[in-house]
Structure 1
């Protein structure tokens, strides 16, 4: 069961499926859904989960690894989790046992711009970035619409601002639930987001798709000049040169990363275990990175070759020698119910539907009522090693 419904992301994954089927003679039936959280929960509840599934969040690894979740441990013969970098390695494990593999990862803390028309942004601090944008008269591209997960680009913005202004420790406490949504640090990140981007960026942002917004940077008459996020979210075509370039935070600042983890629910299915081993190995990971149209990066320490300079520069941030501290994407590490409430709050905040204190109080209530599993704060951030 996978959430990749169309386009290059699904095709890159499916090319691996076809190669595996050709090499082994094992058939892989791929179930595609945009409502993965709901369908996976329902199938697990009635005792008929898929053999393998892309897990909807890393907190789902903790929850499904419980007694009633049915997620199966992956032994060392199936997955060499030691070959994977932190923080992805730790997030794949529960109490020292491996339950998932990070099959593709990404870096989110990137500021994109059209290198032919826009000077390189200053990213040494949020104040410097705000001064650069305002002083140059540049505007931000902001689109928050994305089907069932509308709101996620704003959640990524708020997570980045938490990292920039409070550091990794406070960020990890917030994500794991011990730093409350109503705390001054969290409120400041929301206010900072609106202040940094300015009111014009928020106009109709809840109805505008992220890719649609960023495409406005490269038109003949661009309506915005700066965008924040992962390369894959920009729908960049790796087969063609692009005018888009990116600026990165200084190594003194933690950066936000994300990942898709696959877990196994099939107890005693050797074919499913073979497919996991295929996806988890260095060769399978390199094939995924190399697949036509792929924007994937790998957390496997032996995957170091990328097709172009843009990918190579991003991948270098995941390298143990990069000097960066990596922190997993906030919403992706929260319980699915909390993440969904976070996304809705982002949309309401962008539209001005509710005042911020009300939204944060509501999020605190959701956290306290519905978060049945949390990722340990110590696992959320880590130096890649």
Structure 2
């Protein structure tokens, strides 16, 4: 049973405490409102849209219309704090004993650790694999987080009109992403393993039941190197220092659109990237149509068309998500998380976000992006896909995930067989150190394999 932390209440009663002596008998009206703090990863336009949705959700709350017996407002206020250093901020707040009421994380591995360390409050909601599976804690299987927005990863973006390049793509690679540099490479390895070996092997590997030195895993690494082909040292160095978002040409007469496909230095035709990147390719199109813009037109297709492997696994797609969990003992925080994952919040969020930044939601009945690239991805995510498997590195314990990122960067620089053997051996060592100690073992930080893959659902 999780320990209950004291319910924190941030109030507007400081004036009463300061003026109590001077107000003999006058007093202050009870204007106390509980303020719930939501910590999340969205900044800029994404953060603005989420905050606007949160405010509208607060205004629509029945509790916001209540009045205290002395005439002042009561109820709950929602406050959003967005940061690009989410894990570091959350860890610091937990160590200080002042966690947010709600935090939004994209890592099932981190969430599982927090749940089993009794940091999270259980929720009265059913499991929702692959985004929010039930977790065994102290002998009880409960749900500890819910998906707010989700994403489709198994996609390839390419320049429209480059049909002659489809057989031999020139792959765009930008590996830089501040503290998390390397994740575009781990996405490649994960998608290749899923496509070549199928969901069962993928889930066993992601949860520590399959060795990094197994033929399935090793084969995904070597397949990636073969797809990328021969590269010069200059090309490798450029990819390692180029942001996954790309850069615009500083010599251009007018600012060129960002995105790796638009980066003149890379000179590439195809990019393996999640659906979220569509905000850089607002003119993206799928098979059913779309538009062209200053970038010459960009299309999006399932990655299975470009990856080597048996066609039997073409219906499996890698996905990711941002999940909300309760870190305080406030009943209002649990109520907020349930509201954030409900239909009203999704409708409001869809309305507030710019078209190319509108979130994907897990159910076919939810409002989804309708821009050309987003609409194509949404159709796959909510119906056409046969199996959805959660991002493997985000399902791993943080220490193993971070080691995976570093190993990908080293392998990208030197894809020799000897280097790969060394890297995979090191990753198996980290796997053991994090409690994922072999086939059939359920470590402290591990989810069961069946939690990671599931068919699309309506809700």
Whether TM exceeds 0.5 here: the answer is yes
| Corresponding position of 2:412 | 350
* Aligned counterpart in structure 1 of residue 277 of structure 2, from 233, 239, 251: 233
Q: CA RMSD in A?
A: 2.8
* Aligned counterpart in structure 2 of residue 142 of structure 1, from 173, 179, 184: 173
| Corresponding position of 1:71 | 120
Alignment check: 8 A CA contact 2:43 2:84 kept: no
The residue matched to 1:17 in structure 2 has which SS? Answer: helix
**What is the TM-score with the length of structure 1 in the denominator?**
0.84
Q: Shift of the alpha carbon at 1:317?
A: 1.4
Distance in 1 between the 2:265 and 2:82 partners?
A: 37
Distance in 2 between the 1:39 and 1:367 partners?
A: 25
Q: Shift of the alpha carbon at 1:375?
A: 1.6
* Aligned counterpart in structure 2 of residue 212 of structure 1, from 232, 238, 246: 246
| Corresponding position of 1:6 | 43
Q: Does 1:192 align with 2:223?
A: yes
Question: How has the CA–CA distance of structure 1 residues 203 and 324 changed in structure 2, closer, same or farther, with 3 Å as cutoff?
Answer: farther
Q: Which string of whole-angstrom CA distances, capped at 9 and with x for unpartnered residues, describes residues 57-87 of structure 1?
A: 1122222122x332011224xxxx47x5x42
Q: Does 1:159 align with 2:190?
A: yes
| Corresponding position of 2:448 | 376
Q: Which string of whole-angstrom CA distances, capped at 9 and with x for unpartnered residues, describes residues 329-382 of structure 1?
A: 111111111111111111111122981111111111111112440121111111
The residue matched to 1:11 in structure 2 has which SS? Answer: helix
| Corresponding position of 1:125 | none
Distance in 1 between the 2:114 and 2:261 partners?
A: 41
The residue matched to 1:65 in structure 2 has which SS? Answer: helix
Q: Does 1:36 align with 2:86?
A: yes
The residue matched to 1:355 in structure 2 has which SS? Answer: helix
Larger Rg: 2
Distance in 2 between the 1:220 and 1:197 partners?
A: 18
| Corresponding position of 1:244 | 298
**What is the TM-score with the length of structure 2 in the denominator?**
0.72
Segments of 5+ residues of structure 1 without an aligned counterpart are 123-131
- Higher mean alpha-carbon deviation, 195-204 vs 261-270, is at 195-204
Alignment check: 8 A CA contact 1:112 1:247 kept: yes
Question: How has the CA–CA distance of structure 1 residues 295 and 91 changed in structure 2, closer, same or farther, with 3 Å as cutoff?
Answer: farther
Q: Does 1:282 align with 2:343?
A: yes
Q: Output aligned runs, 1:331-346, within 5 Å.
A: 331-346=393-408
Distance in 2 between the 1:141 and 1:336 partners?
A: 27
| Corresponding position of 1:223 | 267
Name the one with the larger helix percent: 1
Question: How has the CA–CA distance of structure 1 residues 217 and 112 changed in structure 2, closer, same or farther, with 3 Å as cutoff?
Answer: same
Alignment check: 8 A CA contact 2:135 2:447 kept: no
| Corresponding position of 2:145 | 100
Distance in 2 between the 1:384 and 1:48 partners?
A: 37
The residue matched to 2:178 in structure 1 has which SS? Answer: coil
Segments of 5+ residues of structure 2 without an aligned counterpart are 1-37, 65-75, 248-257, 285-290, 305-310, 436-443
Q: Shift of the alpha carbon at 1:204?
A: 2.5
Q: Shift of the alpha carbon at 1:156?
A: 0.2
Q: Which has the higher contact order (CA 8 A, sep 6+)?
A: 1
Distance in 1 between the 2:265 and 2:183 partners?
A: 27
